């Protein structure tokens, strides 16, 4: 399968899901994970929000590297590693709209003064389909 076909396969899979597990790391090096809603772009970027008092926000202040797992109930998953960047200004407006398109109920938190929005730029993604023999596994580095 060609690189662009793999990206399209991953893109379509990500678009069908609204919840992922995201992992961050504390400044002491301890892993922490949380389930969260996310949005996405055609460039395979992920968008999420968090509150400044939450553990993930504190962790991201120290280390912006994150990992996600998307999907699991159909024996198909996407593992995703990237760098999270807090959004502001015009970029925040643009990405929030994409996030709210996928997660309209999340808009109720928009006025909370402690909410922050992040965009994740992918560095490595693996698509695994365990429903076929041999398993279908594709990796891309970006």
Q: How is the chain split into domains, by residue range? A: 3-141
pLDDT of residue 73: 86
Nearest CA to 22 among 100, 92, 103, 80?
80
38, with CB counted inside 10 A (0-12, 13-18, 19+), is buried
pLDDT digits (tens, 9 = 90+) for 70-105: 998 899 999 999 999 999 999 999 999 999 999 999
Record: fold of 3-141? Pnp Oxidase; Chain A (2.30.110)
**Largest Cα span, the chain:** 50
pLDDT reading at 118 higher than 90:
yes
């Amino acid at each position: 399968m060609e690189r662009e076909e793999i990206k399209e396969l991953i893109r379509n899979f990500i678009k069908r899901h609204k919840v992922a597990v995201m992992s961050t790391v504390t400044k002491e090096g301890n892993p922490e994970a949380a389930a969260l809603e996310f949005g996405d772009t055609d460039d395979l970027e992920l968008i999420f929000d968090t509150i400044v008092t939450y553990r993930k926000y504190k962790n991201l202040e120290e280390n912006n590297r994150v990992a996600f797992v998307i999907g699991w109930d159909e024996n198909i998953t996407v593992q995703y590693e990237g760098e999270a960047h807090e959004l502001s200004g015009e970029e925040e407006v643009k990405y929030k709209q994409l996030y709210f398109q996928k997660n309209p109920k999340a808009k109720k938190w928009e006025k909370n003064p402690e909410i922050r929005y992040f965009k994740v730029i992918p560095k490595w993604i693996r698509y695994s389909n365990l429903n076929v023999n041999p398993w279908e596994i594709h990796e891309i580095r970006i």
